[in-house]
Structure 1
Amino acid sequence: MAFADSSETLTCLNCQNTSADAGAVKGEHNFCWVCIDCVLDKQRGVSTPHECRAGERLVGERRIQEVGRHGSFITCTYCVHASVPAVKSCVMCEASLCDTHLTVHSKSPEHILIEPTTALRNRKCSVHKKILEYYCTSDATCVCVSCILFGDHRGHRVETFDVVSRRKKTRLKNDLKKLFSRSEETEKQRQTLQTQKAEVLGKTSGATERVTALFRQIRRQLDALEKKVLSEVSKQDEQMSVSVSKLIEQLELQKDELSQKMSYIEELCNKADPLVILQEQESERADFCGSEVGAADPKVCQDGQIYKVACMDEGLIAVTLHKGLCDIIASIMGGLNIHGAADLLLNVHTAGNDIQISGDLKAASWSQINQNYPEKSERFQYDQVLSTRSFSSGQHFWEVETSETGVWFMGMCYPSVDRKGRQSWIGDNNKSWCLRRYDNVQYSVIHDGKWLQLPHSVSCHILGIYLDYEAGQLSFYELRDPIRHLHTFTATFAEPLHVAFSVYKAWVRISN
C-alpha cells in the first residue's frame, strides 16, 4: 500500500477526525492511521494492496443489497460516501455505527451501545440531556441521574432498568402463560364449534332429505287418492248415464204405446155407425179402459213426481275422500313419530281453587269464585294445574289457544314439584320450565327462578309446545304464518314430564 507524505492537517474520510498524522492512499483519499491500521488488521494475510476504500464500499454495497432484500435499514452516521448498514447505535453520541466505525469507537461505559435505532433522542432525558438509566416507580417514568439527584424526581423511589425490566418480563411471562392458556381454550372452543357446525350441517342435510322424501310420499298418496276418488266419480257417472238411458228408453216405448191407443180412440170417435162403436168398446174395454189411460211406469214416477234417478252419490265420494285423507295424515304422522294432544287432558285433582276446568278437561280459566275443590295432596295452593298424562319418551306436540288479556304460564314440570309455597310456581324451581306472557305485551321464559325476557312482541294467540324427551329439548312457537320460534330449553330430563298451566285473569285451551 503506497502512502503520500504530507505535513498539512488532513481529515480522515472514514471517521471524519482531523490529524496532522493522517496519510493519503492512492486515489487521493485521506485516512487517519487508526483507520488505516484497522483496515490493515482486517486484511492481514491478503496480498492485494489496499489502494482506496473502493473495496470497503463494495462490501458495504453488498451488505446494503442483502439488507434491502429484507426491508429498510439504518445506515452508519459516519459513512457519508456510501450507505453502509449500521450494526450498533451509541446512545451518548446519538450516532449509528457500521462494523468499521464500531472498532474505533470509544469503549468507555458512558458510551452505551444498543441495536441500531433512529429513536436515540428518546433514550436521553429531555431536560438534562443525559442517558436514561433509572425508572421512577412513583411517577412510572424513565429518568436520568440528574433527575434523581436534583431534578423533579428527587427523593422518589427509583430502580435500575435491569431490575424493573426483569420484574416486567416476569409479569409478561405470566401474562403470556395466561394468554397461551386462553389461546388453547379458544382453539378448543373453535374446534368444538367446528364439530357442532359439521353436526348441524349433517342434521340439516338429513332433515332436507327426510322432508323431501316425506313430501314425495305425500304426493304419491295424494295422487293415488285423487285417482281413486275420480274413478268413483267416473263410475257413478257411467252408472247414472246407463240408468237414465234405460228409463228414457222405457218412457219412449210407453209414449209410442200411448200414441197408438190415442190414434185408435180417435178413429173410433170418427166412425158414424153407433153399433160398431159400441161393439168395439166392449171388446177393447180391457185394453184401454181396464187401467188408467196414460199411467206412468211406477219405476219412473209415483204420485205424479219423477224419481231423481240421476242423483250422484256425493256422500260416498265425501266419505272416500275423508277416509283417504285421514289415512294419509295417520301414515305421515306415524312416520314422524310426533304424538298430538288427542288424549291430553287436565287433571282437576291438581287444579288450584282459583282455576275452573272445562267439562271436556281441555281448558283452564281463572275464576274469582273459589271452586272449593276437595283437599288433596296433589292439589296446588295457587292457580295452577297439570295434565293427567306424563311423558317420559318420544316426541310430542300440542297447540294451545290463549286469551288476549291477562297473565298465563305454560310449560312442563316433574310430578315431584312442590304443591305449596313460593317454590311451587312453575318456573320458580329446578323441576319446571315455562313460557310466560304478561298482558299481551311481552314474553319471558323461566327456569329455576331465573327469568329471561324475550325480544319478541306478542303477535299470535295460538302457541305450539314441542317436546323431544330423549334430546332434552322443550320448545315454544307462535303458530302464525310463518311460524315463529320463541325459545328452546335444553336439559337432561330426570323424571316424567307433565304439561303445566297457570292463569291469572286469563284462560288457556288445549287444541285437538
Structure 2
Amino acid sequence: MASAISLLSEDQFLCSICLDVFTDPVTIPCGHNFCKSCITEHWDTNDQHQCPLCKEQYEKIPHLRVNTFISEMAAQFKQSVSRETITSTIRSSSEEQHTDPGEVLCDFCTDTKLRALKSCLDCLVSYCEAHLEPHHRIPGLKRHMLINPVKNLESRVCKKHNRPLEQFCRTDQICVCQFCSESEHKLHHIVSLKEEYEEKKAELGKTEAEVQRMIQERELKIKQIKQSVTLSREDADRETAKSVEVFTALMQSVERRMAQVIDMIDEKHKQTEELAEGLIKELEEEISELMKRSTELEQLSRSEDHFQFLQNNFTLKVPPPTKHWTKVKIPFSYDGILGTPLAELEETLSREMKVLCAEAELKKYRQYSVDVTLDPETAHPKLILSADGKQVYHGNTSQYIRDSPKRISSYFGVLGKQSFSSGRFYFEVQVKDKTDWVLGVASESIHRTGSFLEFWPQNGFWTISLKDGYEYKALVNFGPIYLSLKSKPQKVGVFVDYEAGLVSFYDVDAPALIYAFTDCYFAKKIYPILNPRNNNAGTNSTPLIISPVTRTD
C-alpha cells in the first residue's frame, strides 16, 4: 500500500475547501470529493447548493456518505507523512542544538537541518528552499498561505475551523479565518491581515514618532534644567561674592568706627587719670605740709618754757585749706558715650550700604549691556545725530529730511534702533554739562505726532528728567516725583528687566540708585529713548552721549 501511495500525487489527497488531507471524505453527484464537514458547512453558509469546483447546482442537499476507499487512502497518506516527519525530526535533533535559538529550521530536512525559507499556514510546516518546491508546482499547494518562517504555527490556525487566520475582525479586534468571517463574524467589519497590518503599522509609525518627539522634548527639558542649575550656580557664586564684598566692607566700616569709639573711651579715661594724678599730687603736698605742722606742734607741746611757748602760739592755728576737698570728685561716667557714635555709624552704614549695593547692582547689570545706536528715522526734525548714532543734540531749525511714520514730531525725542521684548538689558548715557534732558525707555506704541502727551508710564514712557540744571524728577503717572540727589549725575545707567517689569536708573559715578519703576507692564516692544530738550540759546547745547559700558567681572 505504501508503494501505491508513493505513486500518487500529494494533490490527490487534499480537500479543495480546507486544502488539507481529507477527513471523512465524501463524493457528491458530480464526482468531486470533499471533507464531509467542509462541504456541509459550505452549503450551510450559502443560499445556493453547488459544487465549489465545477459549480454544478443541486435543488436540495444530496445525501452524503463517506467514501471509504478515499478515506483509507488519506489515512495511509497521513501516517506516511507523520512517520517521515517524526523520523526527520529525531535524526536532526542533535544538529538543532548547534543552531541559533531563534532560528526557524526546515521540518523536512533529514541530515543537516537547513534554514526555513517559508512557513505554510495550511500544512503547519516550515520548508527550506528545496522542500518548498512542491508549493510552487502543485496546483493545490499553490493555494496554501505561505509566510516568512515562524515558530508555533498552530497558533496561526483557527482552532474551530482548522483554517489559517488570514483575516482580521475590526469589530472584535481578533484574527479570524475565512469560515469565521462567513459565520459568526458575517456582519462584522472584516479586512485582510495585510490591510490591518499596514494600517496598524502606520499608526505605530505615528505613535513611534510621537514617542520620539516626547523623548526629545524631555531630553531638551533635562538639558534646560541642567543649564538652569548651571546658571543658578554661576549666579549664586556671583551673589555670594557680591555679598561677601558688601558685608566685608560694612564690617570694616564697623571695625573702624569701633576702634574710634574705643580710642575715644581710652582718651576720656586718660584725661580722668591725669586729673586724678594732679589732685593726688596736690593732696600729697598738703599732707606733707600738714605733717610738718604736726611735728612742730608736737615739739611745742613738749616745751616747758612759758615764754617760748607763748611766743610761738601762731602754730596753734590750723592752716587754711587750699580747696574744699569734700566737694572734689573724679568724673568717670561713660553713660551715653555710644549715642553719637552709633548714630553716626548708622548714618555711615546706611550711606555705605546704598553705595555698596548700587556698586554691586551696577556690576551685575553691566553683564547685560547692549550696544545702543540711535535711529535717525525716528528723530525729531530739529535733532542732530552724530554719524555713528551715539550722540544727539537740539538744533535751532528743522532739517529737510524724509518723512516717516516712525518719526517723532511732537517732542524732541529719538528712539534706539534696538528693540527688546524679553530678557534684561543695560545702557549708559552721558549727561555731563547739560541743564535739561529726558531719558529712559518707551513702548513701540507711543504717540509720535499730534498733541504732546506727558512722559508717563500710562502713555508708554518710563523716564527720568532734569530741568533748569537742578530739578530732577521721575515722570510717573499724573505727576512727577521730585528726586533729592546727593550729587549731580554725570552719567546715567539704565537697566531693564522685561519679565520682572523693572526699569532702574543709576548715577554711575556715585554710584547710587536714582529711581526705579517697578511692576511695569510692557505689552509690546520697548526702545531706549533720549530727549536732549531745547538748547536754550546754547546753554543746553551739549549732546546726550551713549557711552560704552565697561564690564567688571
* TM class by smaller structure: 0.3 to 0.5
- Considering fraction of residues, name the structure with more strand: 1
- TM-score (structure 1 length as normaliser): 0.46
